[in-house]
Structure 1
Amino acid sequence: MELSRGFRIDPIVAPTWDVAELVNRHFDMMRAQTPSESCHVMSADDLFAAGAHVFALRDDDTMLGIGALKPLSADHGELKSMHTKAEARGRGVGSALVQHILTKGTDLGLLRISLETGSEDPFAPARRLYERHGFTYCAPFGDYVDDPLSVFMTRTL
């Protein structure tokens, strides 16, 4: 998919070195910010093993961000592993990835996409991003349980 500003979003079918590096950066950041019992981040290997559709946003050959859509059921998916490199924030990377994942969900026949993110201040920009894309707050879904460090959001397609 070609985007304005020279961005390109590619589907990733296996963890290439640059995708694995960015997923690992995301994994390490989430583990550093959230106690393990409240952290639901997935490794690159786990994402692919779960059948997630993983997408990389690049500017030419430079990886700027990643995001994934993990299937939960035939009509419900979960947005996972959204991460934009710090040096690329504010350039629309996250917004482009969320929109791409919503479109992919529609293409797959999903009726709903949900997500879990943190409830604390470092996660406020992510929550605002999801709100801008029509996600609303909801109860825990799938295998999640109520946790004061988690926020759950969903959006119908």
Structure 2
Amino acid sequence: MHADSPPESTHALDIDALRAPEITLWSAWIGGEVAGIAALRQIDASRGELKSFRTAEAHLGRGVARALLRRIITEAETLGLDSLWLETGSGDAFDPARSLYSSEGFVECEAFPPYRPDPLSTFMTRAV
């Protein structure tokens, strides 16, 4: 992400931030290798935010991100969340991510706190 976005438009979480109590992190494994990771940050009792979606280059196009996304949607249902939110890039490098999210029911929306409108960001949400 740092290669495709300037620092002020990069909202990736580092390892310490991923350890916060309101964040749950999942990993997908294929053949003994980490194929991808994804996290859910519980914003409040009714909303969650998708964070840190990554698929290892060797596993792109194998359904890793979709499987992780569906796992997080299931967890959101279990937690009784009403909606999921996300921020992703708006450049060409993020086309696959936006396409995945759209295919799973996410729609574009306005920036949500703590984000501000940014032409390099796309904000999306969906009901759970």
* TM-score between the two structures when normalised by the length of structure 1: 0.79
Relative to total residues, which structure has the larger helix share, 1 or 2?
A: 1
3-state SS, counterpart of residue 44 of structure 1: coil
Structure 1 contact 72–142 (Cα < 8 Å) conserved? no
Secondary structure at the aligned position of 1:106 is classed as: helix
Among 52, 58, 69, the residue aligned to 1:87 = 58
* Aligned residue type for 1:85: A
By how many angstroms is 1:44 displaced?
Answer: 1.6
**Whole-angstrom CA distance in 1 between matches of 2:49 and 2:21:** 11
| Cα RMSD, aligned residues only | 0.9
Structure 1 distance, partners of 2:93, 2:2, is 13
Question: Which portions of structure 1, spanning 4 or more consecutive aligned residues, are displaced by more than 6 angstroms?
Answer: none
Whether 2:42 is the aligned partner of 1:71: answer yes
The residue that corresponds to 1:114 in the other structure is 85
What's 1:144 paired with?
Answer: 115
Percent identity of paired positions between Structure 1 and Structure 2 = 44
TM score, norm. by length of structure 2:
0.96
| 1:46 pairs with one of 17, 31, 40 | 17
- The runs of 5 or more residues in structure 1 that have no matched partner are 1-29
C-alpha separation in 1, matches of 2:21 and 2:103: 28
Report how many aligned residue pairs link the two structures.
128
* Alignment gaps of 5+ in structure 2: none
- Matched with 2:29 is 58
